[in-house]
Amino acid sequence: MFKSITNKLAILTTVMVSSLLLLSMLFMTLYFESYYENVKRKALFENLMKFSEFTVRSPERFIGDITDYEAKNSARLFIYTKSGDLVYMSSKGGNVDENSIFILRSFFNDIALNEAVKEELYGASGISREYVEETRGIKYFLSAVPVSVLTSDDSIAISISSMIPIRESAETIKQFFIYLFIGGLFVTAIISVVVSKMVTKPLRKLAKDASMLASLSFVERDATARTDEIGDLDRCLTSLSSNLQIALEDLRSKNLLLEEDLNRKEMLEDQRKSFIRDISHELKTPLALIQGYAEGIIDGVAPEDSKEYLGIILDESRNMEALIRDMLELSYTESDAFTLDMKHFDLSRLISETQAAFKGIRQDIRLESDIMPGLTAYGDREKLTIAVRNILKNAFTYTDVNGSVSIRLLSYGSAGGCILKVTNSPAYISEEDLQNIWVQFYKKDKSRQRVKGSSGLGLSIVRNILDKHGFEYGIRNVEAVDGTRGIEFTVSFG
């Protein structure tokens, strides 16, 4: 219960206001009556002094002033000579009541018997005394000052006021204050709860928002219109939320970039290791053949076959040269120095010239071509020649005996686009191999069976060149009308 700031604030406010009401009640009980008496006594004496300041006046005026004084001060006023004879009293006064007679007698006795009282009355311009009626214990205030009736200060103005109204008023106020205390305590408790909830409601909202910030949950917050400290804190939290969200998004993007860099480094490291392993394997076989046949010639093994051995050494040397050339070409296409000389050129002519170089390479393969004349493309003619040559080389290399290679260049669309389709059959590549066929040194023959004229880098070079141009390309298995399976390579120019 006391952990909630709402309850704490409500209880604290109630206790403070209740304490204030209780202190007020104690003051009323202990000091109000005496305080009221002192105020009343002082007021009676001051007003009597003002009454005595008037100069000699007519009897009618005197009686009228006495009546006004009594009405304003709730007191009796009598004018006596110094010898104790009554001169004036109010017109509505009638006979002097017994209590007033008792007080007046006591006062004159004090004057007669106590010289100090007489000196105080005439020497200090007035006297104020308190008398208690012996029978009922009623307290009276008496004030007396010299007053001029016929001559200067020839008489005494005596004011008598009972304290019964003061006592009754004090008792009434005390009783009322008890009810006021109870009602005030109840109202204070209600107001304290309402005010504490009004104060703590925005604090609870800020605490909720801070908790969401702590859990890195950044939601859009409505700006507050408050201009107090809570409003300042809310705006600071809004600014903090916005800044943290920006910082977190920036951190996430940098983490993604860092993760991509790490993955790229890992991939490059894997590629480096794979490249070293593959190139070692590719070079190991021809070097072993060259070394073996060269040693055979030196040792004079089968001299009649020396010419054949030299031919094999020459072929393997050429294979190594082709492999190194492809490696250099692949390295170039993957470097930052690889740029394109973009121009419009005759694509039909490029395809025709490239496919002409493959006629007669394999006598056991039938070459079919359907090249639409006059088709143009926008790109680097020299780089695209290398790409087309590698595509055709791959088709001729991996076509079975008595197969065919089909080369078709067609136009499509109204924008002048054209597409190259190279199909070799019979041939087939599994789906797994299709996904990896662009990887350098990848061959569908898992035993790495060497195919004459194949380095395993051609399609990697093709991929880099076409990606640099932004052309769409792909490879898939197809089936002819006669049911023969084949492989189709497509490139869309433009």
Strand 343-346 relative to strand 139-147: parallel, antiparallel, unpaired? unpaired
Does 397 or 111 have the greater pLDDT score? 397
For the chain, how many residues are written? 494
Query: Mean pLDDT across the stretch 384-396?
Result: 89
For residues 354 and 296, what is the distance between their CA atoms, to the nearest angstrom?
40
Identify the CATH number of the domain in which residue 368 sits. 3.30.565.10
Q: Do the domain assignments include residue 277?
A: no
Q: Do the domain assignments include residue 488?
A: yes
Query: Mean pLDDT across the stretch 366-380?
Result: 91
Q: Do the domain assignments include residue 366?
A: yes
Query: Mean pLDDT across the stretch 303-310?
Result: 77
Domain boundary among 122, 141, 162: 162
CA distances from 486 to 10, 52, 430, 462, 483 (A): 87, 140, 12, 20, 10
Q: Residue 80 above 80 pLDDT?
A: yes
For residues 301 and 296, what is the distance between their CA atoms, to the nearest angstrom?
5
Q: List, in sequence order, every residue forming a beta bridge with 357; answer none if it has no partner.
A: none
Q: What is the mean pLDDT of the chain?
A: 78
Q: How far is CA 184 from the centre of its chain?
A: 43
Most confident range, picked from 150-154, 182-186, 383-387: 383-387
Q: Residue 432 above 70 pLDDT?
A: yes
Q: What is the pLDDT of residues 313-335, one digit of tens each?
A: 887 787 777 777 777 777 777 77
Residue among 458, 348, 472, 476 at smallest CA distance from 408:
348
Does 207 or 42 have the greater pLDDT score? 42
Q: What is the pLDDT of residues 247-260, one digit of tens each?
A: 878 888 888 888 88
Q: Would you state the pLDDT for residue 451?
A: 47
Query: Mean pLDDT across the stretch 448-472?
Result: 74
> What is the SS3 assignment for 450?
coil
Q: Would you state the pLDDT for residue 449?
A: 45
Q: Would you state the pLDDT for residue 5?
A: 63
Q: Would you state the pLDDT for residue 408?
A: 93
Query: Mean pLDDT across the stretch 3-27?
Result: 73
Q: List, in sequence order, every residue forming a beta bridge with 162; answer none if it has no partner.
A: 140
Q: Would you state the pLDDT for residue 92?
A: 60
Q: Residue 356 above 80 pLDDT?
A: yes
Q: Would you state the pLDDT for residue 96?
A: 65
Domain boundary among 106, 129, 162: 162
Q: Do the domain assignments include residue 38?
A: yes
Q: Which two tokens stand for residue 426?
A: 């019979």
Which pLDDT band, with edges at 50, 70 and 90, does 33 fall under? confident
Which pLDDT band, with edges at 50, 70 and 90, does 379 fall under? very high
> What is the SS3 assignment for 481?
coil
Identify the CATH number of the domain in which residue 42 sits. 3.30.450
Q: Which two tokens stand for residue 493?
A: 């120019």
Does 350 or 31 have the greater pLDDT score? 350
Q: What is the pLDDT of residues 150-169, one digit of tens each?
A: 777 778 888 888 877 777 77
The whole-model pTM stands at 0.45
CB burial of residue 455 (10 Å; 0-12, 13-18, 19+): buried
Domain count across the chain:
2
Q: Do the domain assignments include residue 153?
A: yes
Domain boundary among 113, 142, 162: 162
In angstroms and rounded to an integer, the radius of gyration of the C-alpha atoms of the chain is 62
Residues near 357 by Cβ (< 8 Å), separated by ≥ 6? Answer: 389
Q: Do the domain assignments include residue 18?
A: no
Q: Which domain holds residue 436?
A: 339-493
State the DSSP string of 118-129: HHHHHHTT-EEE
Q: Residue 236 above 80 pLDDT?
A: no
